Amino acid sequence: MTAIQSIKGRRVWDSRGNPTVEVDVVLENGVMGRAIAPAGASRGQREAIDLRDGGSALRGKGVERALASVNGPIASALAGLPVSDQVGADRAILGLDPSPMKENLGGNATVATSLAVLHAAAADAQKPLWRHVADHYGFSPSLPLPEIQIFGGGAHAGRRVDIQDFMIMVPGASSFDEVMEVTNEVYFAAGDIMASRGKLAGIADEGGWWPAFDSNEEALETLVAAIEKAGEKPGERVVISLDVAASEFGENGKYRLALEDREMDSAALIEMLGGWLDAYPIASIEDPVGEDDVEGMVEFTRRFGERVQIIGDDYLVTNAKLVREAAADGACNAVLVKVNQAGTVSESIDTYNAARSAGWGAVVSARSGETEDVSISHLSTGLGGGQLKVGSFQRSERMVKWNECLRIQDELGAGTFVGGAPMAATWWGKQHG
């Protein structure tokens, strides 16, 4: 039983150049754990608050108030607690701020601290983080199936296209390494096609190509062309995954696709997406309707839940209670797990467990504002049987997560890649059995 001796928060900077919170947890034996809070741009309304200072300095994005939470009440409450008791540490944090969205301490303060405690416990047990997570929570570790962004859109690319993430997955790969190789070919094929057509405007927030398409569907057509140019047959080894992030362009069942100057209600949006599911090899779709559109999500899941993975991100905000309610409603069949949406490791694990009990898939995810922190590579491996969403195949804050998985692959053995297993219940799984 090694006790936490001290906790120190400091200001560091994320991939968008914004300030963020880093926390060091030092144990009585000198062992240390460290983690950094990420930050979203297309945030769910019900997720833990990213506490910022406001005012004019640093465009209002300062984190002095969040750091004061870490260095003041959180440090005092956690000192002396056994580091191996993650639930106890997280409860102590929650005891300081019972508000549902952690608006008093700040979710950025709580998530960096909670993850740093987890890192310190792993270091104290002399285990890599993925092994500690698996042992501590009783999971069988396995490398996740990545979903990797090819084009960025929505809030990550000046809303140049309405749909936020155009991604691929390689469920037909037999190793994590093979996923990286295939994705690399598709990513650069996409860039070449866009450049040759005059459609390449730069790099979006998560490292994907920033497109200059004239319609959302042009992105899908280009993605299929890129998969083919890379020598793959779309829908075989490689499939498409979308994050519609519909809350970003609609509420109360009214949606507006700015790129195409089209207004639609929930039924029309579902119809349009259903048409895409028929026309393109899409195996997974996230937030197809807005976070407040329960009827729309139930209807979408009723119609397409047998053939596609339907992930709730803004819709579920890594909240176990919302997962249980959605499962009872028949909305979604998978959850996105973002530790900073929940605010602590324990609440994120509860959400993961709620999803698994419902027979759902689970995708551990980065945020659009990221850093060198690789906690999620370990978390997704330690939880086992899952998927990992990190952004694209460029920029170090993304590559550091994929590269960490390759190191874990060396420790774990290549045979522990889950591959198509998370897709088993979908169209892809049915075709490839």
Residue numbers at the binding site for ligand PGA (CB under 6 A)? 40-43, 155, 164, 243, 245, 313, 365, 367-368
**Binding to Zn ion, residues 110-149 (CB under 5 A):** none
Among ligand PGA, Zn ion, none, what does residue 224 contact (CB within 5–8 Å per kind)? Answer: none
Closest residue to Zn ion using C-beta atoms: 313
Q: What distance lies between CA 279 and its chain's CA centroid?
A: 26
Rounded Cα distance, 361 and 309, in Å: 8
Rounded Cα distance, 158 and 154, in Å: 7
Q: How far is the CB of 45 from ligand PGA (least distance, A)?
A: 12
Q: How far is the CB of 155 from Zn ion (least distance, A)?
A: 10
Q: How far is the CB of 153 from ligand PGA (least distance, A)?
A: 11
- φ, ψ of residue 415 in degrees (nearest 5): -70, -5
Q: How far is the CB of 367 from ligand PGA (least distance, A)?
A: 3
Closer residue to ligand PGA, CB minimum distance, 22 or 287: 287
Q: What distance lies between CA 409 and its chain's CA centroid?
A: 20
Beta-strand (E) ranges in 173-330? 200-203, 209-211, 239-243, 250-251, 254-257, 262-265, 282-286, 309-312
Among Zn ion, ligand PGA, none, what does residue 102 contact (CB within 5–8 Å per kind)? Answer: none
Could you say whether residue 162 binds Zn ion (CB under 5 A)? no
Q: How far is the CB of 293 from ligand PGA (least distance, A)?
A: 16
Residues paired with 223 in a beta bridge: none
Rounded Cα distance, 250 and 265, in Å: 9
Closer residue to ligand PGA, CB minimum distance, 128 or 154: 154
Q: How far is the CB of 251 from Zn ion (least distance, A)?
A: 16
User: Helix/strand/coil (H, E, C) string of 67-94?
Assistant: HHHHHHHHHHHHCCCECCCHHHHHHHHH
Positions marked active-site:
206, 338
Number of residues engaging Zn ion in binding (CB under 5 A): 4
Of the candidates 365, 342, 207, the one whose C-alpha atom is nearest the C-alpha of residue 287 is 365
Closer residue to ligand PGA, CB minimum distance, 185 or 292: 292
- Structural contact between residues 351 and 315, judged by C-beta atoms closer than 8 angstroms: no
Applying CB under 5 A, among 14, 313, 373, 404 the residue interacting with Zn ion is 313
Among ligand PGA, Zn ion, none, what does residue 69 contact (CB within 5–8 Å per kind)? Answer: none
Could you say whether residue 291 binds Zn ion (CB under 5 A)? no
Closest residue to ligand PGA using C-beta atoms: 40
The alpha-helical segments, DSSP class H, found in 2-98 are: 64-69, 75-78, 86-96
**Binding to Zn ion, residues 209-248 (CB under 5 A):** 243, 245
- Under the phi-then-psi rule, with left for phi > 0, alpha for psi from -120 to 50, and beta for the rest, what region is 311? beta
Could you say whether residue 24 binds Zn ion (CB under 5 A)? no
Closer residue to ligand PGA, CB minimum distance, 180 or 245: 245
Give SS3 for 402.
helix
Footprint on this chain of Zn ion (rule: CB under 5 A): 243, 245, 286, 313
